[in-house]
Amino acid sequence: MINVIKNNISELTANIPLYIFLFLIASTAIIVGIEWDISWHETIGRDKLLSPPHVVVYIGGIICGLTCAYMALRQTFVDENLYNRYVVFWGFKAPFACWVCIWGAIAMLTSAPFDDWWHNAYGLDVQIISPPHLVLAAGIFANLMGSLFLLIAEKNLATGKQKYFLELLFMYAASLIVVQSAILLTEFSFHNKQHTYEFFKYSLTIYSFLIVSFRIVGEHKYSATIISILFIVHRCLIIWILPLFKAEPLLGPIYRDIDHYVAPYFPVLIVAPAIAIDLIHNKFQKQNSLIKPIMMGGTFCIIFSLVQWNFAEFLLSEHARNWFFAGDNTFPYWVRVNENNYKFWFLDWTPYGHRTELERVSIYNFGFLIIFTIAFSYLGSFFGSWIKKVKR
Amino acid sequence: MDKKGKTLNNTYIYVLFLLLTFLHGDIGHNNVVYEGKAGEIPIRVFVKLPGVVPGLADVSIKVFSDDIHKVTIQPNKKDKDRKSKSPPPDIAEPIKGEKNLFSTQLWLMDYGSYSLDIRLYQGQIVHRASIPVNSTSSRILEMNRGTSILLSALLALLFFGAINIIRIAYKDSTQPPGDHPDRGKITKSYIVTVLSLIILSTIIFGGKNWWDKIDTAYQNNIFQTLENKIEILDNGKEKFMSIEIVDELWKQNRMSDIIPDHGKIMHIYLISDDYESIAHLHPSRTENTDIFIVKMPPVNFGKYYLFMDVTHETGFSHTMTNKIIYNGENVDFRNSIENIERDIDDSWTLNSNENRITWKDKKYSYKSGDNIDLEFQVMRDGQPAVLEPYISMGGHAALLKKDQTVFVHIHPIGTISMASQEMFQENYIQSIVDQEDICFFGFINDSTDNYFNNTSPNGEVSFPAINLENTGEYGLWVQVKSAGEVITQKFDFEITL
């Protein structure tokens, strides 16, 4: 039995270049490093250049950057037919994905001195969305997109079982991009904020864009569903594994008894609308490219809203206060223990202490949510149709 | 990204910057010095505050004892409902090549007043001291040229790199290997390039606007002096100065009430614009708790700068500023004002020709960042004067840069607010009443008694050394008390690059 499995794996992975695995390892390291780093900030607080999560992110960036640089130099100066395809970038030759990853590595590199200056100028940021962090996020996205382009080009040029295996790897790479989006949406997606218009607006537009575009690219019948499941499994593993490790706040004031890592928020259940997207895609294969995104967007908006609205109520209930859902373990050390911890929030505070109201979802603005989701589904469909054709 | 430099050159911001009240009873001076005792052990503590929140403070502790084997520092924040805990203490590491000098960096995460709890470990004995510091945004940081050039170059590389990637993505990436794009696609790729240029430029522009908004929000959040109104009043017999706090923060009760600092609810330095006369005054609070009133000293008519030190119940201390033109015309006659006794510790001098205090090793010119030793010899009738406490202190000194951007009120124990220190000590003692296992030798006794010990029978008084970054001309007024008389003397010096 073991030999059969071994042989099957060998057959699947045969002739799949090593650099594909290096790209995926690098992407995974970057994403896990960022998730660990956010938990580190929420649990321990004290930041330094070579903190363990930072090191994991750097290792991912270095693997990706060096792999791409090596490929570009080899193909430019040693053998232009080395990787059976290339594009020319300012005189250098390498697969298209390499240039996207190299751009990502430079963006990540740029964010370091920028973030350092930012901390000195405005104070250590305890928020995720800040200009230097978005430069870093752009770099990470570029790395993840580079890995995705690499796999799309490889699977477009592959045949037989290899193509099937590359399809699986593509879905994994795509799920990492969904994870990265979920990380960026953290501040809008706390369990307590999941009844706000803001949460639905950002979640619906970003997730619908990604799920629809990956659905278009994927050749598996249930690509969108599998990508969503991989995303949820990834986030659940982080939620279950991080709190196994002891950690305590090293900055104060400390308002909570924290002795293990704080978990991220429980992933949104995009698997529900993703199943619908798969069904619509499979059922209306030849549907007009304008009508199909409307169907997909509208369905995505309604199913996601219905499911997540109710699931958010569950996440704030006593039933979610356990290791599985971590409903009681997502609060950083600086959040006071009070009666609002398990209520929905409709106000927020800016980094400088100003109160802002958060809009509630209503029948009126729900119409906008449908329009936005359809618009982004259309954009996702357009984007997916293009990246599906990447062959270089 | 180098746009920041431009933003910061904005005249309005510069003027705002000059008018800001910064820290712990000082203006434009980002350091806290404390010279006193931790239990029985004399120490000198120097804290360089970050000027941003959250930020990293540099703390160095000179211990005047040879058998201290460990020094720790813990930042504590006074919490209204006492529900927060402090992080574990940081160990201050000994500085190589220096004797009994320890240092560490300390994160101050929140706005407000912190107490730095310093513990010296001497065998089984722990000596403690509490140093109050303010954590506020006070600094506008300009991007230096090197960082600006580096980030601009990287931004340009990313910008043009992204445009080229989009062009290649359209023109080449979907072509089967070996194929060349046709002429139509090549032409269209130029359109894609122009479109991507427009879209990316819009993103950069949007990013710049976002940054500017954050910058504005940050600058609006820089702690500013509480707005106040000064009036000169006359009840037909005497003249008075009324100080009313009119700031919105204060009026809306968003700042805690103020508490006396070494026995006075407010300490005012009134300094003439020719820097010749100075008065050190202590107003009383009226029934209207926003208004403070003090009998005017017999100073000449003219323009005066006011620096008013206050400490809040939270331990937060700061200096309010204002200026007045004192003449016969702007005096408001109000018979209703009852006669108020002059505070026993009010003092003033009308000229700077006194010559009874000598600044030892004084230079006229100091380099920016140099340690300036502040040691003085006081003479009386040709003999070293016997000094007595003046407002609980061995001496007071007011340091003013002659463009009013730097003001420091310093005592022999340093620049800290004693009221704030006492508040934190009481807070701490309250919190450990039931914790018998905690040893705090000397801590409880290390209260106001120590402030008195800085007097001397041989006329010597010293303040912790100070260093000043901002170049320009400064005036320093030193005040001591001897035989019931307050002796005030002014010194001029300059700071150069």
Tens place of pLDDT per residue across chain A (392 aa):
667 667 777 776 667 888 899 999 999 999 999 999 999 999 998 888 788 999 999 899 999 999 999 999 999 998 888 777 888 989 899 999 999 999 999 999 899 889 888 888 888 765 678 899 999 999 999 999 999 999 999 888 888 788 889 999 999 999 999 999 999 999 999 999 999 999 999 999 999 999 999 999 999 999 999 999 999 999 999 999 999 999 999 987 899 999 999 999 999 999 999 999 999 999 988 777 788 889 999 999 999 999 999 999 999 999 999 999 999 999 999 888 888 899 999 988 776 667 788 999 998 899 999 999 999 999 999 999 999 998 88
pLDDT at B485 over 90: no
- Average pLDDT of the segment spanning B12-21: 33
B159 and chain A: CB distance < 8 Å anywhere?
Answer: no
Taking the Cβ of residue A128 and every Cβ of chain B, the question of whether any pair is shorter than 8 Å is answered with no
Pairing of β B331-333 and β B228-234:
parallel
Cα separation, B8 vs B448, whole angstroms: 43
pLDDT of amino acid B437: 34
pLDDT-based confidence at residue B442 (cuts at 50, 70, 90)? very low
| A288 contacts chain B (CB < 8 A) | no
Say how far apart CA B471 and CA B369 lie, in whole Å. Answer: 10
Which residues in B344-372 are b (16+ Cβ under 10 Å) and which e?
A: ebbbbbeebeeebbebeebeeebeeeeeb
Name the residue facing B85 among A254, A389, A390 (closest C-beta): A254
pLDDT given at position A163? 87
pLDDT digits (tens, 9 = 90+) for B223-258: 878 899 999 998 888 889 999 999 988 888 888 888
- Residue B80 touches chain A, beta carbons under 8 Å: no
Q: Given an 8 Å threshold on Cβ–Cβ distance, is A253 in contact with B85?
A: yes
Is B109 at the interface with chain A, CB within 8 A? yes
What was the pLDDT predicted at B27? 65
Q: A112-120 long-range CB contacts below 8 Å, 24 or more apart?
A: A113/B147, A113/B150, A113/B151, A114/B1, A114/B151, A117/B141, A117/B143, A117/B147, A117/B151, A119/B52, A120/B52, A120/B141
Highest average pLDDT, of A105-119, A178-192, B360-374, B470-484, comes from A178-192
Whether B129 contacts chain A with CB within 8 A: no
Q: Residue B387 pairs with which residues in a beta bridge?
A: B482
Contact B319, B25 (CB under 8 A): yes
Cβ <8 Å between A89 and B147: no
Contact status of B315 with chain A (Cβ, < 8 Å):
no
Determine the Cα–Cα distance for residues B134 and B112; give it in Å rounded to an integer. Answer: 6
Chain B contact set for A90 (CB, 8 A): 164
Q: Check if B153 contacts A (Cβ < 8 Å).
A: no
CA-atom Rg of chain A in angstroms:
22
User: Given this model, what pLDDT does residue B262 score?
Assistant: 78
Indicate if the pLDDT at residue B359 is higher than 60: yes
Interface of B with A in 393-432 (CB under 8 A): none
CB contact under 8 A, B168 and A87: yes
Assess whether pLDDT exceeds 60 at residue B11: no
Q: Which amino acid is at B213?
A: K
| Residues in B 171-190 with any Cβ partner in A closer than 8 A | 172-177
Report long-range pairs for A130-133 (Cβ below 8 Å, ≥24 apart): A130/B214, A131/B207, A131/B210, A131/B211, A131/B214
Instruction: State residue B15's pLDDT score.
Output: 33
**Residues in A 195-214 with any Cβ partner in B closer than 8 A:** none
Residues of B with Cβ-Cβ distance to A114 under 8 angstroms: 1, 151
Number of A/B CB contacts below 8 angstroms equals: 139
Q: Give me the residue from B109, B157, B174 closest to A390, CB to CB.
A: B174
- Length of chain A in residues, anyone? 392
Q: Which of residues 46-65 of A touch B (CB under 8 A)?
A: 46
Cα–Cα distance, B46 to B167 (Å, whole number): 57
